[in-house]
Structure 1
Amino acid sequence: MTSSPSATTRSWLGIALVLGAAVAWSYGGAIQRFIGVTDGWTIVFWRCLFAGLFLLAFMLVRDRIDGTIRLFRAMGWPGFFIAVGFALVSTFFVLAVTMTPVANVVLFMASIPLFAALLARIVLGEPITPITWGAIAAVILGVGVMVSASIGEGGSVLGLTLAAAIPAIFAGMTVLTRRYPGIRMTPAACGGSFIASAIAATQAGAFAVGGQDLALLFCFGALNLGLGMALYVTGARMIPSALAALIGTAEMILAPVWMVILHNEIPSGRTILGGALVMAALFTYLISHMRPARPGSNPAAT
């Protein structure tokens, strides 16, 4: 049975939107390197404030006032914990990038699906296939190679720890969304952005920034974090979740490329080797989980 033209068009639109999200997310580290502000907490404050306002405006346009209020009310405690997870991840990303190469951070993030599979096995009892076990082992090896490279070059242990915490937190968020599939990502990300901004406000040394830095912070928050999320939650509803995850790996591939082009931040040989192992494991895992699925079967993405 062939797909109707409208279904095919919807699928291609979903692919384009998710790919756009990956591109939007990929240049976050490159933007941060241009920002002259040295206080990481100040960057977190402005970035997450702009991201939260962007996502709030997105929901108001998409769902109007009544619909937006309903989305926030429907979050419940599971949605609140997802929002806290977004707040931690957004904060740790900025702080980690101030301490370690961007390639290390995004390649750690590439292991999120495999961390999630392992945690789902522990918490929910979900089975793990031999392919997934092999991919997890490859990720552990790849991460070990990357960490050894960074420490050997005088990299920050704290920065690596924050980068490693990101996939662990995301794994917890993924398991939570599987346990409570009604959780909506957009209000959670919006709320998490405001939570992160509020926490950063208590830690920031100052809030005043120059006009150029403020424009960069707007791009970092609204056009990197906020727009990326808006594109993803819109496109992910139109295609199978495994395909969305596979397309999303473009972020991990593009992010180091932007750093080389714009900042001449070239990863070390061991970082490239470890990252290649992680990406190969991720591709193997995602491709093995590709299943025919009905478009629009990813409602929690909204």
Structure 2
Amino acid sequence: MKHRSAVLTMIAVTLMWSIAGVVSRHFEAAKGFEVTFWRSLFNGLALVVMLAWLRGPAPLAGAIRGGGRTLWLSGVCWAVMYTAFMMALTLTTVANVLVTMALGPLFTALMARFALGHRLAARTWGAIVIAGIGIAWMYARELSASDAKHVLGMAVALGVPIAAAVNWTLIQHNRGAAQQDMLPAVLIGAMLSAAATLVPAMPFESTPRDLGLLALLGTVQLAIPCLLAVTVAPSLSAPEISLLGLLEVVFGVLWAWLGANEAPTASVLTGGMLVLGALAGNELLAMRERQLR
């Protein structure tokens, strides 16, 4: 895939990832671990159908049974990403979780540098710093770590950017001549997440409307975009994928404005513009470098 197409696909991925907040505003009874369980379960069911269509039932089963260490480690990373976000939200504020997750590009850049020996362009380092400042600016007034529960919540949320950094680095490492099919890892992650949250999610309280919305999240907010992210990952650097992933926060604010009438504050708009400016500047400078080469 050409770089421009990969970037556009990744932007579409973040747009789908970002609908979780506005959809969750319309739950009637589902909350906490139950949301994570049903979302992961529906994610897994959708992935079984899509991967069976793409790979065939027998090859899919064989890929999972015979999956090597890289595939299963990636699956564990997906499971942590699916689960830690919702767990963190039950312990601390949304602002604390989002600002913690904004560390993702920095962790990914460091992981790629030390694990793969990738040198990062100065423009990308600058974009990581500016985008991180933008996310912090958006939620600076709502940040809170005044008690142990908030600190624990931020520690749990830290699992998301760490798992993402490991995952994107694994996928980058796997893109050699004998690369392994990493799409089944998304399914492994969904099943591990559903299994881990089954007991804490009981007793179930979701209404039929909630289950319909959770099926929407499992399919449109997780299954489809996660498969697309794995597909385009070999065409982008690991830090670039993580940096583009910050668009999820900006799009999430936009969805909440349009779908839940939650108008953003001036600080949110300013921080969002910083994030968008950092991402756009990084991509424009990268495009110019490729044209000069």
**TM-score bin (small chain):** 0.7 to 0.9
Task: Give the corresponding residue for 2:64.
Answer: 72
CA distance in 1, matches of 2:264, 2:181: 36
Task: Give the corresponding residue for 1:224.
Answer: 221
Q: Does 1:253 align with 2:247?
A: no
Using the TM superposition, give the Cα deviation of residue 154 of structure 1 relative to its aligned residue in structure 2, in angstroms: 8.8
Pair 1:139–1:183, CA change in 2 (3 A)? farther
Pair 1:279–1:168, CA change in 2 (3 A)? farther
Q: Does 1:141 align with 2:136?
A: no
Any idea what SS the aligned residue of 1:122 has? helix
The answer as to whether partners of 1:29 and 1:259 remain within 8 angstroms in 2 is yes
Task: Give the corresponding residue for 2:207.
Answer: 210
Residue correspondence of structure 1 range 1-302 to structure 2 within 5 A = 20-97=12-89, 99-101=92-94, 112-146=104-138, 148-151=140-143, 158-181=152-175, 182-233=179-230, 236=232, 240-241=235-236, 245=241, 251-290=248-287
Any idea what SS the aligned residue of 1:202 has? helix
Q: CA RMSD in A?
A: 3.6
Identity of aligned residues (%): 29
Pair 1:276–1:16, CA change in 2 (3 A)? closer
Using the TM superposition, give the Cα deviation of residue 187 of structure 1 relative to its aligned residue in structure 2, in angstroms: 0.7
Scaled by the length of structure 1, what TM-score is found? Answer: 0.75
CA distance in 2, matches of 1:222, 1:28: 11
Pair 1:77–1:125, CA change in 2 (3 A)? same
CA distance in 1, matches of 2:29, 2:216: 14
CA distance in 1, matches of 2:65, 2:27: 36
Pair 1:86–1:116, CA change in 2 (3 A)? same
- Report the AA paired with residue 76 of structure 1: G
- Report the AA paired with residue 236 of structure 2: S
Pair 1:152–1:117, CA change in 2 (3 A)? closer
Pair 1:151–1:23, CA change in 2 (3 A)? closer
Using the TM superposition, give the Cα deviation of residue 107 of structure 1 relative to its aligned residue in structure 2, in angstroms: 7.0
Pair 1:125–1:16, CA change in 2 (3 A)? closer
Pair 1:69–1:286, CA change in 2 (3 A)? farther
CA distance in 1, matches of 2:261, 2:81: 26
Using the TM superposition, give the Cα deviation of residue 206 of structure 1 relative to its aligned residue in structure 2, in angstroms: 1.5
Task: Give the corresponding residue for 1:3.
Answer: none
Pair 1:139–1:232, CA change in 2 (3 A)? closer
- Report the AA paired with residue 174 of structure 1: W
Scaled by the length of structure 2, what TM-score is found? Answer: 0.77
The answer as to whether partners of 1:107 and 1:278 remain within 8 angstroms in 2 is no
- Report the AA paired with residue 194 of structure 1: M
CA distance in 1, matches of 2:190, 2:263: 30
CA distance in 2, matches of 1:39, 1:95: 11
Using the TM superposition, give the Cα deviation of residue 75 of structure 1 relative to its aligned residue in structure 2, in angstroms: 3.0
| Deviations 1:217-268 (CA, angstroms, capped at 9, x unpaired) | 111112221122344456x38x9436x9487665443221111122233444
The count of corresponding residues between Structure 1 and Structure 2 is 280
Task: Give the corresponding residue for 1:298.
Answer: none
Of 31-40 and 248-257, more deviation after overlay is shown by 248-257
Using the TM superposition, give the Cα deviation of residue 140 of structure 1 relative to its aligned residue in structure 2, in angstroms: 4.4
Any idea what SS the aligned residue of 1:126 has? coil
| Deviations 1:153-174 (CA, angstroms, capped at 9, x unpaired) | 9995555554444223211211
| Deviations 1:24-70 (CA, angstroms, capped at 9, x unpaired) | 22212211221233531111111000001111111111111222123
Using the TM superposition, give the Cα deviation of residue 194 of structure 1 relative to its aligned residue in structure 2, in angstroms: 0.5
